[in-house]
Amino acid sequence: MTAQAVETGDLATVIGLEVHVQLETDTKIFCGCSTDVGDDEPNTHTCPTCLGLPGALPVVNEGAVEAAVKVGKAIDADIPEETTFHRKNYYYPDLPKNFQITQYDAPLCAEGELEFSVEGERRSVEIRRAHLEEDPGSLQHKGGSIDTADYTLVDYNRAGTPLMEIVTKPDFRSPSEVRSFLAKLTEVLEYLGIFDATRDGSLRVDANLSIVDMSDVDADEIDASVLEEADPNRTEVKNISSHKGAEKALAYEETRQRNAIQRGRVVEQETRHWDESKGVTLSMRSKEEEKDYRYFREADIPPLQVSDWKAKLDIPELPDARRERFQAEYGLNDEAADKLTSTKEVADFFEDVAERFDPGLAATWVADELLGELNYRDMAITDVSDRFDEIERLVELVADDEITTKNARETVLRDMLDEGDAPDEIVDREDLGKTSGDEVQAAVADAIEENPDAVEDYHDGDDGAINFLVGQVMGKTGGSADPGDVNQLLREELDG
Does domain 437-495 correspond to CATH entry 1.10.10.410? Answer: yes
Q: What value does the mean pLDDT of the chain take?
A: 87
Q: Each residue of 429-462: pLDDT tens digit?
A: 887 776 556 666 777 777 787 788 777 777 877 7
Amino acid at 152: T
pTM (2 decimals)?
A: 0.82
Mean pLDDT of 471-480: 73
Apex 80 CA angle, 222 and 170, nearest 5: 15
Question: How many Å apart are CA 448 and CA 456, to the nearest integer?
Answer: 10
Higher-pLDDT residue of 428, 364 = 364
Sorting pLDDT into bands at 50, 70 and 90, what band is 216? low
Sorting pLDDT into bands at 50, 70 and 90, what band is 224? low
pLDDT reported for residue 3: 40
Residues 6+ apart with CB under 8 A from 462: none
Q: Each residue of 231-287: pLDDT tens digit?
A: 567 899 998 999 999 999 999 999 999 999 988 888 888 999 998 889 999 888 776
Mean pLDDT of 9-29: 92
Domain ranges of the chain: 11-311, 319-430, 437-495
Sorting pLDDT into bands at 50, 70 and 90, what band is 1? very low
Which H, E and C letters describe the chain, residue by residue? CCCCCCCECCEEEEEEEEEEEECCCCECCCCCCECCCCCCCCCCCCCCCCCCCCCCCCCCCHHHHHHHHHHHHHCCCECCCEECCEEEECCCCCCCCCEEEECCCCCCEEEEEEEEEECCEEEEEEEEEEEEEECCCEEEEECCCCCCCCEEEEECCCCCCEEEEEEECCCECCHHHHHHHHHHHHHHHHHHCCCCCCCCCCEEEEEEEEEEECCCCCHHHCCHHHHHHHCCCCEEEEEECCHHHHHHHHHHHHHHHHHHHHCCCCCCCEEEEEECCCCEEEEEEECCCHHHHCCEECCCCCCEECHHHHHHCCCCCCHHHHHHHHHHHHCCCHHHHHHHCCCHHHHHHHHHHHHHCCHHHHHHHHHHHHHHHHHHCCCCHHHHHHHHHHHHHHHHHHHCCCCCHHHHHHHHHHHHHHHCCCHHHHHHHHCCCCCCHHHHHHHHHHHHHHCHHHHHHHHCCCCCHHHHHHHHHHHHCCCCCCHHHHHHHHHHHHHC
Sorting pLDDT into bands at 50, 70 and 90, what band is 368? very high
* Residue 8 pLDDT greater than 60, yes or no: no
Sorting pLDDT into bands at 50, 70 and 90, what band is 215? low
Mean pLDDT of 156-170: 96
pLDDT reported for residue 23: 97
pLDDT reported for residue 226: 57
pLDDT reported for residue 19: 97
77-81, 240-244, 480-484: segment of lowest average pLDDT: 480-484
Give the up-direction half-sphere exposure of residue 400: CA atoms within 13 A in the CB hemisphere. 9
Measured CA to CA in angstroms, residue 220 lies from 118, 226, 290, 354 at distances of 17, 11, 28, 44
* Residue 220 pLDDT greater than 80, yes or no: no
What is the SS3 assignment for 277? coil
* Residue 25 pLDDT greater than 90, yes or no: yes
